Chains A and B, each alone.
Chain A
């Protein structure tokens, strides 16, 4: 079993829909939780990060962490065609001298006009 599981999709939604992307994990040592966005044939870019449990909002994006359930989510409100990309969750523990991240497999999102 992978340390971080993510539904690969593809997830296809109409423009304006609310999108929910999720990851589950097994390592209780993870403390930092990140979402990266990767456009086709590009490198990933950091979208949001959260430390420990709770919510964080940035414009149309909300990241949510539930450490008790080992479950994180990314919500996209009023989705736009420009949000079409692969979304990767990533995590790391507190004591991580190499700053190594553990990534999920990515969910491909398509927002149709």
Chain B
């Protein structure tokens, strides 16, 4: 099993450009999450999908949109990138919302917006 995979690994955007970060998991997990990690800030939740067909905002959703394409895939879209969105983005998944505690993380996407 590959676990949680993310593409791309690195990306440089100019202000105003758009892009989609892709995430897929092969563990048959129900719940998926997008986080951003900034120095000293830990992991902050952007959006999550408790189950296929549902998405909800997390702590820092402004400037982002998500799509739960199917049970395996959960994408994050930046419509008009801003320098404040320079960060490392992690996708995670967990087996069952509510009872599970372990989230499995992907390797991350390092995004720079100039």
Contact = CB atoms under 8 A, between A and B. Distances in A.
Interface string B88-103: 0010101011111111
Interface residues of B, number: 28
A74 to B, nearest CB: 15
B42 A49 contact: no
Contacts, number: 64
Interface of A: 4, 6, 8, 32, 34, 41-46, 49, 88, 90, 92, 96-101, 103-106
Contacts of B102: 34, 46, 49
Given A6-B42, A103-B42, A46 B103 contact: yes
Contacts of A4: 42
A98 B46 CA distance: 13
Interface of B: 4, 31, 33, 40-45, 48, 50, 56, 58, 90, 92, 94, 96-103, 105-108
Nearest to B49: A98
B43 A98 contact: no
A110 to B, nearest CB: 16
A100 B107 contact: no
8 contacts: A34-B101, A43-B108, A45-B105, A90-B43, A96-B98, A100-B33, A105-B40, A105-B41
Contact of B48 (A98, A103, A105): A98
A97 B97 contact: yes
Nearest to A32: B101
A101 B108 contact: no
A42 B109 CA distance: 10
A101 B107 CA distance: 18
A97 B92 CA distance: 16
Contact of A99 (B4, B31, B41, B90): B31
A90 B40 CA distance: 14
A99 B50 contact: yes
Contacts of A44: 43, 90, 105
Contacts of A46: 101-103
Given A99-B97, A103-B42, 18 more contacts: A34-B101, A42-B108, A43-B4, A43-B107, A44-B43, A44-B105, A49-B102, A88-B42, A99-B31, A99-B50, A99-B100, A99-B103, A100-B33, A100-B48, A103-B43, A104-B42, A105-B41, A106-B42
